[in-house]
Amino acid sequence: MKNRLCIMLLFSILMGGCESANNQKPSTKYEEKKASLADTEREGPLKFLKISGSHRGNLINQTIVEGEILNKATLTTYKNITVQITFIDKEGSTIEKQKHVLDDEIEPGGTLDFKIKTGHVKETKSVSIDITDALADK
């Protein structure tokens, strides 16, 4: 009898604890952290966007730059991403810089594949690509 009473008491405590956990609203501290993270992502898109890619020439004397941009943000979508292409000669000096704006959006955690065709720049040994600007979608 004593064992049954102990088991019933333990069971009611456990069930009562489960109910209260499901009815709680997110704490204000959690909401503040979430808002702070969203502000950080909106104000510093270059911290959350990573670019990689390669270049090649084609038969009609163009340089083709292809790559991928990864959005590491958790809450913010980015758009109007400015990609800077730097053409470098065999000594490592910059020959020319070009900026291109990509109109597509990148969702949080998503990727964007891109392809940019540009005129051939003489004496180019290598090409570097960077993101110089982006807008947070509101």
Domains of the chain: 45-136 (2.60.40.1620)
pTM check: above 0.75: no
Q: CA separation (Å) from 80 to 15, 49, 120, 132, 136?
A: 52, 12, 25, 11, 9
Q: Is 90 helix (H, G, I), strand (E, B) or coil?
A: coil
pLDDT digits (tens, 9 = 90+) for 127-137: 999 999 999 98
Torsion sign over Cα 99, 103, 107, 111: negative
Is residue 8 pLDDT above 60, yes or no?
Answer: yes
Q: Are 77 and 22 in contact, with CB atoms under 8 Å apart?
A: no
